[in-house]
Amino acid sequence: MKDIFTGKLVRLSAFDPEELSKALPRWYRNSEYFRLLDASARPMQSSKAASKWMEEEVGEMLLQSYYFSIRTLAEDKLIGELELDVVNWPGRDAFVGLGIGETDYWSKGYGTDVMNVLLVFAFTEINLRRVSLGVFEYNPRAIRSYEKAGFRHEGRLRCLLNREGRRWDNLFMGILREEWLALNPQ
């Protein structure tokens, strides 16, 4: 049997609030990291506060949200976070959000590998028909990675962000199940 959670460089593992409540606040102290992921800065959070928030938030969302940790296959190291939110069940459409908190693992194909594993889960295990994402115009690395995974451009919200004194667009991308199957014959 295939282990769908394992890719070539990474595997998806369980979302462990204790482990992540220590890692997330540390990753978010890197302003480049949160500016790539979030539209605006959240207040800095202690591990204690993060832990509490996670118990509350993750507990509530179980019917439509899937949370994972990202670990490297080589060292079994926790390097990032992944979330899949089904926004519409009849349309079987979900938004994916992923972040590689350990910057040493940027630009080495880890993000693309995570996305490939995630799409297998989305299309073959929870039977979605569409996976969507939003990405900021100033994040070309992520945009390229998503293009490689098969996401297509679907437009942009003009001037959505205001950072460093200028405006930036928010891009939307999406991949349909039939498009993914064509790229990844089962």
Partner 1 sequence: MKDLFRGELIRFSLEEPEVRAQAEVRWQRDTEFNRLADSDPSQLTSEKKIKEWFEKQSETGPKADRYSFSVRTLKEDRYIGFLGLWVNLIHSEAWVGLGIGEREFWSKGYGSDMMRLCQQYVFAELGLQRLSLGLHEYNPRALRSYEKCGFHLEGRTRQDLMREGKRYDSLWMGILRDEWLQMQNGEHQ
Partner 2 sequence: MFDIQTQLYEGQDIRFGPIDHEKDAEIEAKWTHDSDFMRMMDTAPARPMSAALIKKQYEKLEKQIEESKNLYHFTVRAKTDDRLMGTAAVQRIEWTNGNAFLRLGIGAAEDRGKGYGTQALQMLLRFAFAELNLFRVSAMVPEYNETAIALLKKFGFTQEVCRRKALERDGRRWDFYVFGLLKDEWQDRARA
Can residue 18 be called a binding residue for partner 2 (CB under 8 A)? Answer: no
Can residue 90 be called a binding residue for partner 1 (CB under 8 A)? Answer: yes
Contacts of 9 (CB under 8 A, 6+ apart): 72, 73, 74, 108, 109, 110, 113
DSSP-H helix ranges across 29-161: 31-37, 47-60, 110-120, 140-149
Note whether 98 and 70 are within 8 A (CB). yes
**The residue count for the chain:** 186
Residue whose CB is less far from partner 2, 73 or 159: 159
The total of other beta-carbon atoms located within 10 Å of residue 133's CB is 20
55-74 positions binding partner 1, by CB under 8 A:
63-64
Q: Tell me the one-letter amino acid at 176.
A: L
Residue whose CB is less far from partner 1, 22 or 92: 92
Q: Which of 92, 143, 160, 184 binds partner 1 (CB under 8 A)?
A: 92
Q: What angle do CA 10, 134, 88 make, to 5 degrees?
A: 95
Tell me the window of 18-26, 99-107, 138-146, 170-178 that interacts with partner 2 (CB under 8 A): 170-178
Tell me the window of 88-96, 104-112, 133-141, 142-150 that interacts with partner 1 (CB under 8 A): 88-96
Residues at the contact surface with partner 2, assessed by CB under 8 A: 39-41, 87-93, 129-130, 132, 152, 154-162, 167, 172, 174, 176
Residues at the contact surface with partner 1, assessed by CB under 8 A: 63-64, 86, 89-92, 126-127
